[in-house]
Amino acid sequence: MHLRVELLTVGHCLHCERMARAGGSWGKVAFPAMAALIWHPTQGPLLYDTGYAEHFLHATQALPERLYRWVTPPVWTAEQRLQAQLAQRGLRLSDIRWCLVSHFHGDHVAGLRDLSQARFLCLREDLVDLRQHGRFAALRRGLLPALLPPDFEQRCEYAEDKPALRLKGAWSALGQQGYDLFGDASVVAIALAGHSPSQMGLKLRDDSGRELLLCADAAWSRRAWQCEEWPALPARWIMHDWPAYQRTVRALGTLAKLQPELMILPSHCEASLAEYRGMAR
């Protein structure tokens, strides 16, 4: 099944480029916060993450959470707000029936509270991890529990409870199986562990027939798997499991070599997002 996919930039944060890749500059650069709008023929419009929203500012108003905002200050315009970008496409926030959550870092889930009619899908281990830490430990991991709607668990389903699909061919570089989220093999969740305990990537095919892997923060740029260009040491401290992160990045590199026509799209890689948007015109 082919799906229409639109990549939205819902704000960005400013941070030293060298933190994301050791070969980068010491200057501050913009890291886009990507949300993917996916048009499904039976499930309606879906979101993969939400990018930034005003809730991020509320959740980081007090210390120690304020440090999150100081280290990676977010920026967005009125036109970049999720509500505004959906309205440009004839949609309201209440039209979103599902939000597929890659992981629970603040720049990926700040807009969840605005999705009043949506159900959520995530990997169970990531939600368990979010709930088990105190404020300081959660902050070190980039987690802001206040961003979740109060009834999140009641509206949430787990990818692991969906039918398992064996990953075949080049895709087996990422593991043995994915999860068929809607029972039609159109959107397959794949665990890409390391940056967070599980982190949910999405395998799908767009309306031009291209296979895509939305890989969130499994890598911060495509140079990571192309050149094994790793984040600087301070950035590694926020990784849930650094060796697992390295294994996932190397698996992405293997997949890219075996299937060079595949578009692997990290959420914060401006070059990758711009290339896909150019191809989609």
Report residue 238 as tokens: 């926020």
Report residue 247 as tokens: 């294994």
pLDDT tens figures, 131-168: 999 999 999 899 999 999 999 999 999 999 999 999 99
Name the band, by pLDDT with cuts 50, 70 and 90, for residue 281.
low
Report residue 102 as tokens: 């890659």
With beta carbons less than 8 A apart as the criterion, state whether 37 and 5 touch.
yes
Which has the higher per-residue pLDDT, 51 or 15?
51
Structural domains of the chain, with CATH: 4-280 (3.60.15.10)
Q: Region 18-35: what's the mean pLDDT?
A: 82
Q: What local confidence, expressed as pLDDT, does residue 238 receive?
A: 82
State yes or no: pLDDT of 279 exceeds 90.
Answer: no
- Residue percentage of the chain with pLDDT more than 70: 99
Name the band, by pLDDT with cuts 50, 70 and 90, for residue 58.
very high
Q: State how far Cα 108 lies from the chain centre.
A: 6
Contacts of 194 (CB under 8 A, 6+ apart): 218, 239, 240, 241, 242, 243, 244, 245, 246, 247, 248, 249
Q: Region 241-260: what's the mean pLDDT?
A: 97
pLDDT tens figures, 167-190: 999 999 999 999 999 999 999 999
User: SS3 for the chain, per residue?
Assistant: CCEEEEEEEEEEEEEEHHHHCCCCCCCEEEEEEEEEEEEECCCEEEEECCCCCHHHHHHCCCCCCHHHHHHCCEECCHHHCHHHHHHHCCCCHHHCCEEECCCCEHHHHCCHHHCCCCEEEECHHHHHHHHCCCHHHHHHCCECHHHCCCCCHHHEEEHHHCCEEECCHHHHHHCCEEEECCCCCCCEEEECCCCCCCCEEEEEEECCCCEEEEEECCCCCCHHHHHCCCCCHHHHCCCCCHHHHHHHHHHHHHHHHHCCCCEEEECCCHHHHHHHHHHHC
State yes or no: pLDDT of 48 exceeds 90.
Answer: yes
Q: Region 205-229: what's the mean pLDDT?
A: 95
With beta carbons less than 8 A apart as the criterion, state whether 277 and 7 touch.
yes
| pTM across the whole model | 0.96
pLDDT tens figures, 101-110: 999 999 999 9
State yes or no: pLDDT of 233 exceeds 90.
Answer: no
Tally Cβ neighbours within 10 Å of residue 31. 23
State yes or no: pLDDT of 266 exceeds 90.
Answer: yes
